[in-house]
Amino acid sequence: VPDVDPNGPLQMQISNLDYNSYVGAIAVGRITRGTIRPNQQVVVVKYDGEVHKAKVGIVYGYLGLERHEVKEASAGDIIAITGMEAPNVSDTLCDPENVEALPALSVDEPTVSMTFQVNASPFAGKEGKYLTSRQLKERLERELIHNVALRVEEGTDPEKFKVSGRGELHLSVLLENMRREGFELAVSRPEVIFREIDGEVCEPYEQLTVDVEEQHQGAIMEDLGARKGELKDMVPDGKGRVRLDYVIPSRGLIGFQTEL
């Protein structure tokens, strides 16, 4: 049973973000205390400690995966609200008479980066309708509103953007969505992000699970060994297949799926 207080002053922490072109940013979270209604005045405590007043717009409840407008939501409910200006994960919505922030949530840091840039090839414009750096920048800025693990940096070249995310899959999903929306762009090879921790240069590692037929087990293990993977467990299923569990550097996984 969730530890909530429906009769106390409002307290709700934003745990996810969404975006709608009609209502703008949408903040999603669970109410831990009190109730919330449309047009209610609240105080927002930002993740960095900054405090400002805000007014709740529409309040949405959830019925399965579908959102529907509600007139009131109380402690324990997972809701989505509009009206917040530049919301962030970890922001706490409070009653103006009882401002009390919840502990900040941690968001995993990016591990892989790619350069997104305008397609300058001779075949530019043959497959997409959004081609310019301005359109590319606007699309990436919209993505930042709800894709909390994404980072976008502008470089010295106005036609290039360094986009960082939580692995190849994270960035490939974004690229595929943009392609389906009609964007045409060029991208660089993924690069792993190294960090200095306590004076030592560190790189990200990932857990990898491979289910493979026993006849191909040797080739897979040889390839992963060359990619600096460390075998942690090997479990045959008795039906001709085996499951391999590895810990491997993120840079060792780049291009691995393509080779398979």
Mean pLDDT of 180-196: 91
Average model confidence (pLDDT) for the chain? 88
**Each residue of 127-174: pLDDT tens digit?**
788 888 999 999 999 888 888 889 999 878 888 999 999 888 899 999
Instruction: With H, G, I as helix, E, B as strand and everything else as coil, classify residue 74.
Output: strand
At 78-89, the pLDDT tens digits run: 999 998 888 888
Residue, of 122 and 80, whose pLDDT is higher: 80
Digit-coded pLDDT (tens) for 52-71: 899 999 999 998 888 999 99
Task: Give the closest residue to 12 by CA, choosing from 80, 103, 98, 94.
Answer: 94
What is the pLDDT confidence band of residue 101, given thresholds at 50, 70 and 90? confident
Residue with more model confidence, 224 or 19: 224
Per-residue pLDDT at 2: 60
* Angle at CA of residue 259, ends 255 and 260, nearest 5°: 120
pTM over 0.85: no
Locate tokens 């007014």: which residue?
Answer: 55
pLDDT higher than 70, residue 17: yes
- Residue 1 pLDDT more than 60? no
The mean per-residue pLDDT over the stretch 222-227 comes to 92
Going along the chain, which residue ranges are E strands? 11-20, 24-33, 35-36, 41-45, 51-55, 59-63, 66-69, 73-74, 78-81, 92-94, 112-118, 151-154, 160-165, 185-187, 191-192, 195-197, 200-202, 205-213, 230-236, 241-249
Calculated CA dihedral for residues 32, 99, 47, 135, nearest 10 degrees: 90
Mean of pLDDT values over 6-21: 87
| Sign, CA torsion 58/60/65/66 | negative
Given a contact cutoff of 8 angstroms between Cβ atoms, the answer to whether 33 and 8 are in contact is yes
Q: Map out the domains of the chain with their CATH numbers.
A: 11-94 (2.40.30.10), 112-193 (3.30.70.870), 200-259 (3.30.70.240)
